[in-house]
Chain A
């Protein structure tokens, strides 16, 4: 079956612009997660959604970052007024419940 998909695969933007990154989770997965991976580093948790519960936003680095999950499926991560330090690969994962997380291919964001 289809895995987690993300779009765009690459995004280049200018400092100060807003960007939106999209994640389509595996069908039927109730939990959705966003992580950030800087070059040569491990994954840094950003936010996760579990069913209809309030999202855990504890990993968002600043109020410029926000995420939505509409209809319990697709999620959008928005970064406002992008900064150069936001450059990274943004990875989305989904799971049934809270165990094994399956990752998408990521969106590589470059802020010039």
Chain B
């Protein structure tokens, strides 16, 4: 069945370093991908998205890379800060639906 998975359940980085969170997706018909950040006790917060006709998109301190050949998505966070500590979810949207399929999440821990 359809699935979106993450390679690393927990990622620990030092403040100031760059972080890379990876995600594999299985549905080649997906045309839209999105990253969310979820802090404890809160709903997911939109970070950045990318469509399947692109392979890279940049935001403020964040970059999303899409490799459709290997069905891989990554989120890069530059100069990671303590406030970046959270669980990060990738999600995909197949082109025949509006519902999102989420992965199980990666916890990012930032230490001083």
Within 29-58 of B, Cβ neighbours of A (below 8 Å) are at: 32, 34, 36, 41-46, 49
Q: Which of A44, A48, A105 is the one whose CB lies under 8 Å from B42?
A: A105
User: Interface extent on A, as a size class?
Assistant: 20 to 34
B102 within 8 A of A: yes
**A50 to B43 Cα, complex, angstroms:** 21
B99 within 8 A of A: yes
Q: How many interface residues does B have (CB within 8 Å)? A: 23
Is the CB–CB distance between A48 and B98 below 8 Å? Answer: yes
Contact flags (1/0) for B85-112 with A, using CB distance below 8 Å? 0000101010001111111110000000
Tell me the minimal C-beta distance from B61 to chain A in angstroms. 19
B46: chain A residues within 8 A (beta carbon)? 100-102
Is the CB–CB distance between A43 and B102 below 8 Å? Answer: yes
Is the CB–CB distance between B101 and A45 below 8 Å? Answer: yes
Tell me the minimal C-beta distance from B24 to chain A in angstroms. 13
Of all A-B residue pairs in the complex, the 7 with the closest CB atoms, nearest first, are: A98-B98, A103-B43, A42-B102, A43-B102, A42-B104, A45-B99, A103-B44
Q: B residues near A, CB below 8 A?
A: 4, 32, 34, 36, 41-46, 49, 89, 91, 93, 97-105
